[in-house]
Structure 1
Amino acid sequence: MPPLVIALAAVLCAVAAWLLTPWARRIAESDSRWLHRAVPAAIGAVAGAGAALIADHWAVLLALCALAIGAALLVPVDLAVFRLPDAIVWPTTGAVLGMLLVAAVATGEWARFGWALAAMLIVGVIYFALGWIAPQSFGLGDVKLSLVLGLALGWFGWRAVLWGMLGGFAVFAVVALLLVATRRVSLKSDLAFGPWMLVGAWAGLAVGAVSA
């Protein structure tokens, strides 16, 4: 995408996150510093710029911008209250699904849309299994979030899906080790996993875009 589109996507996603932050704060029922408007706005700006760098079609850009705005709200909420609210996850999923369907109609790339749906199902099943095996580590919010991440990653291919999933676990492991090493948390402390799922997903999207 041209530099102007990248800048515009960053600004629009930041503004949307800024405006939606009070709503997210009410859903989270928290006044945590993570939910001050500047934090979601900054995440929205970075993710929005990334969306424009990755997208290969205007409808895909809109899908990724929807994911960027969702991520800008979900990351601070999860860090603040260790929850990924349905009120944010499901509208984000619906927006991404709808815009990828528009992309498939506009481009005729129905195979990519099929891959996206298949990845959504497979990633969701994997996270559901993880939540079943280790409910203390993976909550239903993580399972629900995995659906939209699998959907977005699947559009860019199975390499993106693999990197996106593994990337989330890798980033989480590094962050957890650093926090333990600096004595910010203990081995028994609860840590939000959703933010690192999203970071890993964006890394996977970048890999998918480069290798496409």
Structure 2
Amino acid sequence: MSTGLGFVGAVAVAAPPWTVIAWCRLAPFAVALALVDATVHRLPDRLVPVAGVGLIVILAGVAAPRARPGAFVRALVAGLVLGAFHPAPALVGGLGMGDVKLVPVVGVALGWAGWSCVLVGACAAFVLSGVYAGAMLVVRRGGRAARVPFGPFMIAAACVALAIGGT
């Protein structure tokens, strides 16, 4: 059911319409990654690169015949920019290496839609995870040392950013 909702969301946010191929290809990976990370606090190393490479290949294929090289280059740069800032928190224990590997994939997806989506998606991931952590403290289900899976929040934030700000 989650994957079905992912497909519905992919079709809804596909702008321009032919990007639906990329989003529908990414949706099952996003659902699987979010569920696995929420359950076992790990992002499978086998899924993340496959999702990223597939997304890049499809977006390149979409960009070339449609004469949208700017969107494709922006997507790659966004993936690199977001990917460059996230290893530091992993070194001090704030993020896991799976999260660091997922960030460029999310950055590519957000970058395709525009810089405003990159900004909203990147910030919303931290806000969503912070709200979750705060709620866990309030209901006394976790303490300061509780581990919070960041992958589901990155994916949710990307979906929200694409839904409200896709170009």
**TM-score normalised to structure 2 length:** 0.94
Q: Name 1:118's counterpart in structure 2.
A: 77
Provide structure 2 residue ranges, at least 5 long, that are not aligned to the other structure: none
Residue type of the alignment partner of 2:83: G
Partner of 1:54: 13
The answer to whether the 8 A contact 1:57-1:103 is kept is no
Q: Give 2:147's aligned residue.
A: 190
Query: Structure 1 residue 208: deviation in Å?
Result: 2.5
Q: Is the 8 A contact 1:115 1:154 kept in 2?
A: yes
Moved over 6 A (4+): none
- Post-superposition shift, 1:49? 1.1
Q: Give the Å deviation of 1:129.
A: 2.6
Q: Which residue does the alignment assign to 1:108? A: 67
Are 2:165 and 1:203 equivalent residues in the alignment? no
Q: How far, CA to CA, are the matches of 2:96 and 2:46 in structure 1?
A: 16
Q: Percent identity?
A: 34
Alignment correspondent of 2:109: 152
Which structure would you say has the larger RCO, counting Cα contacts within 8 Å and 6 or more residues apart? 2
Q: Which residue of 2 aligns with 1:18?
A: none
Separation (CA, whole Å) in 2 of partners of 1:147 and 1:139: 14
Counterpart pick for 2:2 among 33, 39, 43: 43
Q: Deviations over 1:87-137 (max 9, x none)?
A: 1111111111111011101211000000000001000001123223x2x22
Matching residue of 2:99: 142
Match of 1:84 among 28, 40, 43: 43
Aligned residue for 2:29?
70
**1:107 aligned counterpart, secondary structure:** coil
Alignment partner of 2:119 out of 162, 179, 204:
162
Partner of 1:97: 56
Q: Is the 8 A contact 1:74 1:195 kept in 2?
A: yes
